[in-house]
Structure 1
Amino acid sequence: MLFQEPLAYRMRPEKIEEVVGQDEIIGQDTPLYKMIQKGHVPSMLLYGEPGTGKTSLAFAISGSTNKEFFAINATTAGKKDVERIISEARMTNEAILFIDEIHRFNKSQQDSLLKALEEGVITLIGATTENPFHSVNNAIRSRCGQIKQLKPLNKESTINLLKRALNDEEKGLGELNVIMDDSLLEIIAETTGDGRTALSLLEDIVYASDETEDGIHVTTNTVEYCIKNKGFTHDKKGDIYYNLLSSFQKSIRGSDADAALYYLARLIEGGDLEAISRRLLVIAYEDIGLANPQLCARVLPAIQSVERLGLPEARIPLSVITVELSLSPKSNSAYKGLDKAIKHVQKGVTDEIPAHLKDTHYQGAKSLGHGEEYKYPHNYPNSWIYQEYLPESINSMSYYQPKDLGEEKRYKQVYDKLKQLKQAERKKNL
């Protein structure tokens, strides 16, 4: 038996009691569940990764009420569609308007909802993969009593969803008599916390399996083949994309090689080697820095190897450099010192440059006293001689605060020694 609609579409919950997972948001003990059971639906924004059930929850809320329900997608709908729905809603006095991908609406389109929201003509349920605090107008957010973040389904919830689909004879695969071990459902659940992807995988697996007189037999090989060829991706403009990159860097910064490899795997499956390479280069200088400059110098050759190899071989140098960066000593002292100096300059600390440091490569410079007392360090033992380089008003300022880690220990020793020598010379000149 073949269905026209995909399994993930058919298995959408029709009532809030049928929602799988998201117990913290719509579980039977939550205020939102109790509100809806009593017929009160507040305007709300639902956000989360693709496949976490935002659209399903909106339709389940609609199915649990007697209110008229309108659903549009902001990628294809416009201001006129919103105005038409509001006009229809005025005739029924109250309706639910579900807008998927609401972050795609511009400010004018979002503002067109405000009057109807204030008057209670519509209840808005907006869904977005973006953080609504960044992507939805403050005026809309302030009129939404509930802003809920939906999380990926955990393993148990995903298995329950798959079992429901296998047993449901009306909307699911119940009539096909699928013979499938629970351990195979666990493999699917461990692959993704995306309910839509899990159901799509299950459907592919079932129709790829051999059928006998007693039913459809699903094997491990079939499951692994379908998972391998599913081709997971992520929206490169969505929150999940930036969250993965952030988690990747923070795991390396925190010296957790296992977590770093996990997030690297997710980024690789997303297919954006350029973003991974760019982030690795930033990490090398931002988080490793002077603690291991030799490693910093190896990151660019590793990235060039990635570009030449392409996937799947590119994963090899990526894995090596990721583990190296994770387990390396860390230091951010160099750029933090620069940031401190930048803030100083931005506050207007741009005092007179010492005359002996000023440019002498033009006629008349000497008559201005430029460079006259400059001491060329290479003419002195150890290529160092005391002279002031900072403007007089800030010549005791320390921007660089060295760390006693890795290779930076050596830099710290040199820095501290030079600082002591400068202080001693200053005392002599007092």
Structure 2
Amino acid sequence: MQNEPLAFRMRPRNLNEVVGQQHIIGKDTALYKMIENGHVPSMLLYGEPGIGKTSIANAIAGSSKLPFFSLNATHAGKKDVEQIVSEARLVGKVILFLDEIHRFNKLQQDTLLPHVENGSIILIGATTENPFHDVNPAIRSRCGEILQLKRLSQDDIAKLISNALEDEERGLGKIDIVISEEQIQKIALASNGDARKALTLLESIYYASDEVDNKTIVQDHIVEHLSERIGVYGDKGGSHFYNLLSALQKSVRGSDTNAAIYYLAHLLENGDLIAVCRRLLVMAYEDIGLANSAVGAHVYAATEAAKTLGLPEARIPLANAVIEMCLSPKSNSAYSALDAAISAIHEGKTGEIPLHLRDGHYAGAKTLGHVGYKYPHDYPLGTFGGWVDQQYLPDNVANEEFYKPVIAGEEKRMAAIYDKLKSFKKGT
């Protein structure tokens, strides 16, 4: 057993050994009470790597005393599923833990799902991807619980580390390890809520430390060196990566420079520069918009510079762009106006294009009545340039107003012009 990784050996054997995730498996939760009373429902466990999905499945199996089988949907075949179905027929009821359940194919489903439905197989699926996006509806419908796990707190991780240091049977308790509380907290902080990373890091630190007088002495520089990048999380293209993109945009929209820079740092550490640049460019027009129309050009220049430079230098222009957007006036009026127009079209608010707006650059246009257009440049209007009162929208939507100005930044000036032109149109 000691040849197995520490993180594997320290998995909880029952519900009472689970550290963290008390919001779904704590003693006061419905799930805990159901399992303690002998009922285990099929469920989906959703969350980032290393935060306890497999551990909770093992703990449920240990507390329920039911036969436990584990498969990974990435490489499990139909025969693997059939073997578990056969076992369920023999013993009456089993728990199947299916990791990466979002990769479950139709053939596997057809073999397994009837037995999940009749209760002979209790399915505990685990996924790092959003189950409402990536897990087949047939599986979701048979899982009574869809549980979202949280990253473990620093205190939770510190407790796991302490448990591993004290456990003589499965952990490092038989070894005299000299490690300070400060070093334990540093490991807990570096693991960024990932229990597997924390225990893997602890094990690496143990093997990298010197033994003096039959004691293993943990030194600060070993902890610092091995902890350098362990806090980075969020696989490219996965659900958490898109959560980071969402958090970045919402932080910029909320003008929180510190949060925006924090999420930008995480995204760049994951290395998908193109996705970050695309999102920043969208944000410039979606969230800043007409309130500061120069931002679009600035962000475009910053993202092009970033792509030319590559990482790590790309972080410099992108940091400038993010802070400028955070502290800029903001408006979503332009794209909101477009969305309102699209909605109107889908609601059937369409009509004939006024004759004077139709193409008149061909022989016969006058015959069709495509006449009467007034060229605005022929009607000077102060310093505005040219404007003339004529109808542009179809008759049945002529009075619709899709654009609603936001009185912020540069758009305040545009809003004043918009209102003035409206007053001319009304003849006031």
Q: TM-score, normalised by structure 1?
A: 0.93
Structure 1 equivalent of residue 240 of structure 2: 240
**2: CA distance between counterparts of 1:402 and 1:202?**
57
Structure 2 match to 1:298? 298
- Structure 2: which 5+ runs fail to align? none
Asked whether the equivalents of residues 389 and 395 of structure 1 are also in contact (C-alpha less than 8 Å), the reply is yes
* Cα distance, 1:312 vs structure 2: 2.0
1:110 touches 1:137 (CA, 8 Å); kept in 2? no
| Paired position in structure 2 for 1:190 | 189
In structure 1, the gaps of 5 or more residues are 426-430
Structure 1, residues 3-29: CA drift from partner, whole Å, max 9, x if none?
Answer: 532221121112221111111222223
Two-structure CA RMSD over aligned residues (Å):
2.0
Give the match for residue 337 of structure 2: 337
What secondary structure does 1:46 align onto? strand
CA distance in 2, matches of 1:293, 1:350: 31
Q: Is the 8 A contact 1:231 1:269 kept in 2?
A: no
- Matched letter for residue 333 of structure 2: S
Q: Counterparts in 2 of 1:145-164, with a 5 A limit?
A: 145-164=144-163
Give the structure 2 partner of residue 25 of structure 1: 24
Counterpart in the other structure of 1:281: 281
Instruction: Tell me the equivalent position of 1:135.
Output: 134
* CA–CA distance in structure 1, aligned partners of residues 210 and 320 of structure 2: 41
Deviation at 1:231, TM superposition (A): 7.8
SS at match of 1:235: coil
- 3-state secondary structure, aligned to 2:362: coil
Rounded to whole Å, the distance in 2 between the matches of 1:52 and 1:129 is: 10
Q: Quick one: distance in 2 between partners of 1:353 and 1:144?
A: 53
Deviating above 6 A after TM superposition, structure 1's stretches of 4 or more consecutive aligned residues are: none
For the 8 Å contact 2:350–2:396, the answer to whether it is kept is no
Between 1:212-221 and 1:4-13, the stretch displaced more is: 212-221
For residues 86 and 160 of structure 1, what CA distance do their matches in structure 2 show? 38
Secondary structure in 2 aligned to 1:368?
Answer: coil
The equivalent residue for 1:428 is none
* Deviation of 1:260 (Å): 1.3
Aligned to 1:169: 168
Change (3 A) 1:22 1:177: same
> What amino acid sits opposite 1:343 in the alignment?
S
Please show how residues 1-150 of structure 1 align to structure 2 within 5 Å: 3-150=2-149
Q: SS where residue 363 of structure 2 aligns?
A: coil
- Tell me the alpha carbon deviations over residues 51-93 of structure 1, each in whole angstroms, 9 at most, x when there is no partner: 1110011112222232211110000112332122101220111
One-letter code of the match for 2:212? Answer: T
Stretch of structure 1 that moved more, 275-284 or 58-67: 58-67
Deviation at 1:167, TM superposition (A): 2.2
Q: Partners in 1 of 2:231 and 2:22 — Cα distance?
A: 29
Q: Comparing 98-107 with 227-236, which one deviates more in the overlay?
A: 227-236
CA distance in 2, matches of 1:337, 1:275: 26
Bigger drift between 107-116 and 95-104 goes to 107-116
CA distance in 1, matches of 2:359, 2:74: 59
Per the TM alignment, residue 406 of structure 1 is displaced from its structure 2 partner at its CA by: 0.8
Deviations 1:144-192 (A, max 9, x none): 2332211110111011011112222332223332222212222222231
Q: 1:207 offset after TM fit, Å?
A: 2.2
Distance 1:121 1:56, change over 3 A: same
Q: Secondary structure at the match of 2:352?
A: coil
Shift of 1:233: 4.5
2:92 maps to amino acid: N
More deviation, 197-206/331-340: 197-206
Partner Cα distance (1:311, 1:206) in 2: 33
Whole-angstrom CA distance in 2 between matches of 1:229 and 1:286 = 33
Q: Aligned partners of 2:206 and 2:173: how far apart in 1?
A: 11
Indicate if the aligned counterparts of 1:111 and 1:140 stay in contact, CA closer than 8 A: no
Partner-residue secondary structure (3-state), 2:60: helix
Give the structure 1 partner of residue 268 of structure 2. 268
Partners of 1:75 and 1:332 in 2: how far apart? Answer: 42
Structure 2: how far apart are the matches of 1:124 and 1:373?
71
In 1: Cα distance, 2:300 partner to 2:170 partner = 53
* Corresponding residue number in structure 1 for 2:211: 211
* Matched residue type, 1:323: I
Distance 1:35 1:392 in 2: 64
Residues 350 and 397 in structure 2, CA contact (< 8 A), matched pair in contact too: no
Q: CA deviation at 1:403?
A: 0.7
Equivalent residue, structure 1, for 2:311: 311
Q: Secondary structure at the match of 2:174?
A: helix
- Post-superposition offset of 1:214: 5.2
Q: CA 1:220–1:308 in 2, change beyond 3 Å: closer, same or farther?
A: farther
Q: Percent identity?
A: 58
Q: Distance in 2 between the 1:314 and 1:186 partners? A: 32
Cα distance in 2 for residues equivalent to 1:65 and 1:341: 57
Take 2:391 and 2:325, find their aligned partners in 1: how far apart are those partners?
A: 37
1:355 equivalent in alignment to 2:355:
yes
Alpha-carbon separation, structure 1, partners of 2:177 and 2:271 = 34
Is 2:409 aligned against 1:406? yes
Bigger mean CA offset, 252-261 vs 277-286: 252-261
Distance 2:271 2:16 in 1: 37
Deviates further, 247-256 or 383-392: 383-392
Q: Is the 8 A contact 1:72 1:99 kept in 2?
A: yes
Q: How far apart, CA to CA, are the structure 1 residues paired with 2:344 and 2:300?
A: 32
C-alpha contact (below 8 Å) 1:107/1:137 kept by paired residues: no
